[in-house]
């Protein structure tokens, strides 16, 4: 015999079994004439009260499967409306003294109401205790739109406005993001094949193109004193400019060439010792440039050194350095894997690279460890501190969150080399396509379309994603208490 205590302690199982029972019951509908023993739920009686006596489970977040118990719910799901925290839940089915629904997003206060009957003659039942709603990390949209033609212009403007012509738009090239270390409300962005340097200003909710004199800018970083911005540029000539320096005290409007070489995909500054590392797509070269010497003595002629070559020619990659400076990841975009280079503190340079995850020229999608994992056009990544690692006293307390253009996802590379999916691709039971434009639950709902840029604001615990083919900038954070922010 199944007791009420069993129901309470096995709520997930009971919810699943109720769903199976509902499906089975309706599947048996065609056999009613042959099998008279199949009981039907009692129809709603408008002269009797609707009673909410219990629900299971007692807590959860958006999308949680919830069973509500009581009386006089009837047998027609279309005749039943459930509100949780004032937000309408999706009712799956009703069986007289129980109903099955999904918890809606932002149901913060948790009050449960079951309304049965026509809108003008509803009978309402309420739970004595609220559902304990737990905020979840969700994907939302901050800026941008895509019209039916897909030809929205590159335009400065507001994040949101009733007049669409005043809204910022564009964002349809691969992006690179970097938060200003002195002002985390300023997010800087460049876009491949766009000549601009863009400021995403969260102080006044505007997007502004601050410069328009670049040619394929590919990355942004800051010197360790935050006085200078470093821009990498992807140009074709052997002696073309590869990296620039801009100055904060000149509002980033000056420009000096630091290094010259062809086809630079990105440049990063060592967060402790200050030297700069950049690459060339030509032969996969990995270069070191002594920024400290440059600031102390001035710019020398080709004053940089090649440390090694990453495999063959035409390897497109970004260099992302760990906050401690102990190592860096080389994210090889067009060959679908990630290398690691350990830092030699005595020589003040990086050693030879070795594989961390993915496999050379083996595009795919597989969450696994090391070379068993499969990636598809990984692009930019950020290191994010994991409190659980700190609590366990681990040496490396950072996970690496990175975007994947062709897998349409944000994934996590852990220090042990395991790769998992953090956000995107939605639920295959709802839609088999891994790409799309959907806000909501990180895995069950959210979809991206060729995400590239990523930044993490530690103060607010939020990720920002440049969602290229959706022409938008997305956000991953705990559900907003003020729903109007994202409406």
Strand ranges across the sheet with 228-233: 217-222, 228-233, 241-247, 256-260
At 171-206, the pLDDT tens digits run 999 999 999 999 999 999 999 999 999 999 999 999
Q: What's the rounded Cα separation, in Å, for the pair 16 and 100?
A: 10
Q: Check pLDDT > 80 for residue 357.
A: yes
Sign for the CA dihedral angle at 89, 90, 94, 98 comes to negative
| 342 strand-pairing partners | 327
Helix (H) or strand (E) holding 71: strand 65-71
Q: What's the rounded Cα separation, in Å, for the pair 478 and 193?
A: 33
Average confidence (pLDDT) over 2-21: 46
Separation in Å, CA 127 to CA 14, 62, 240: 20, 19, 70
Average confidence (pLDDT) over 80-88: 97
**Confidence band of 148 (pLDDT split at 50, 70, 90):** confident
Q: Where in the chain is the domain with CATH 2.60.40.10?
A: 4-29+40-133
Q: Where in the chain is the domain with CATH 2.120.10.30?
A: 137-486
CATH of domain 137-486: 2.120.10.30
Q: What's the rounded Cα separation, in Å, for the pair 393 and 90?
A: 43
- 213 burial class (0-12, 13-18, 19+ CB within 10 angstroms)? exposed
Average pLDDT value over all residues in the chain: 90
Q: 4 or 141: which carries more pLDDT confidence?
A: 141
Token reading at 336: 């679908």
Supply the Cα-derived Rg of the chain in whole angstroms: 27
Average confidence (pLDDT) over 237-264: 92
The SS3 of residue 321 is strand
Smallest Cα–Cα separation from 411: which of 386, 444, 375? 375
Smallest Cα–Cα separation from 40: which of 91, 94, 82? 94
The pLDDT, as a whole number, for residue 39 is 55
At 53-70, the pLDDT tens digits run 999 999 999 889 999 999
The pLDDT, as a whole number, for residue 32 is 39
Average confidence (pLDDT) over 67-79: 96
Q: What's the rounded Cα separation, in Å, for the pair 218 and 233?
A: 6
At 237-247, the pLDDT tens digits run 777 889 999 99
The pLDDT, as a whole number, for residue 143 is 97
Q: Check pLDDT > 60 for residue 309.
A: yes
Token reading at 239: 């002696």
Say what the pTM is: 0.85
Q: Does domain 4-29+40-133 have CATH number 2.60.40.10?
A: yes
Smallest Cα–Cα separation from 176: which of 156, 196, 155, 146? 196
């Amino acid at each position: 015999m199944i007791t009420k205590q069993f129901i309470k302690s096995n709520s997930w199982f009971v919810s699943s079994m109720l769903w199976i029972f509902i499906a089975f019951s309706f599947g048996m509908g065609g056999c009613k004439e042959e099998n008279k023993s199949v009981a039907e739920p009692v129809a709603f009686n408008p002269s009797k009260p609707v009673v909410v006596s219990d629900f299971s489970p007692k807590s959860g977040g958006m999308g949680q499967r919830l069973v509500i118990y009581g009386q006089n719910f009837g047998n027609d799901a279309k005749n039943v409306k459930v509100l949780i925290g004032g937000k309408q839940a999706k009712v799956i089915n009703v069986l007289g003294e129980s109903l099955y629904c999904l918890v809606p997003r932002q149901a913060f206060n948790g009050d449960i109401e079951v309304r049965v009957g026509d809108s003008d003659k509803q009978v309402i039942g309420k739970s004595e205790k609220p559902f304990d709603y737990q905020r979840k990390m969700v994907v939302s949209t901050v800026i941008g739109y895509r019209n039916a033609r897909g030809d929205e212009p590159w335009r400065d403007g507001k994040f949101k406005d009733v007049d669409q012509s005043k809204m910022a738009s564009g964002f349809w090239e691969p992006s690179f993001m970097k938060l200003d270390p002195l002002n985390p409300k300023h997010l800087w962005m460049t876009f491949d094949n766009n000549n601009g340097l863009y400021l995403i200003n969260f102080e006044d909710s505007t997007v502004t193109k601050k410069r328009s004199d670049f040619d394929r800018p590919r990355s942004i970083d800051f010197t360790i004193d935050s006085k200078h911005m470093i821009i990498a540029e992807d140009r074709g000539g052997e002696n073309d400019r590869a990296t620039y320096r801009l100055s904060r005290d000149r509002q980033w409007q000056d420009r000096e060439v630091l290094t010259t070489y062809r086809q630079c995909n990105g440049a990063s500054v060592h967060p402790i010792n200050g030297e700069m590392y950049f690459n060339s797509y030509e032969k996969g070269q990995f270069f070191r440039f002594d920024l400290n010497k440059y600031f102390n003595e001035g710019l020398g002629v080709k004053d940089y050194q090649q440390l090694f070559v990453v495999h063959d020619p035409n390897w497109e990659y970004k260099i992302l350095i760990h906050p401690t400076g102990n190592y860096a990841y080389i994210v090889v975009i067009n060959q679908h894997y990630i290398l690691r280079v350990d830092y030699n503190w005595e020589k003040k340079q990086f050693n030879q690279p070795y594989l961390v995850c993915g496999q050379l020229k083996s595009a795919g999608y597989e969450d696994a460890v090391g070379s068993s994992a499969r990636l598809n056009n990984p692009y930019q990544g950020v290191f994010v501190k994991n409190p659980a690692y700190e609590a366990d006293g681990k040496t490396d307390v950072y996970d690496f969150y990175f975007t994947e253009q062709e897998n349409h996802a944000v994934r996590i590379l852990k220090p042990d080399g395991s790769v998992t999916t953090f956000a995107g691709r939605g639920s295959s039971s709802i839609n088999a396509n891994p790409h799309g434009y959907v806000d909501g639950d990180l895995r069950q709902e959210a979809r991206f379309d060729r995400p590239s840029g990523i930044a993490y604001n530690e103060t607010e615990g939020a990720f920002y994603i440049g969602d290229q083919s959706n022409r938008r900038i997305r956000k991953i954070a705990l559900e907003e208490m003020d729903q109007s922010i994202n409406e």
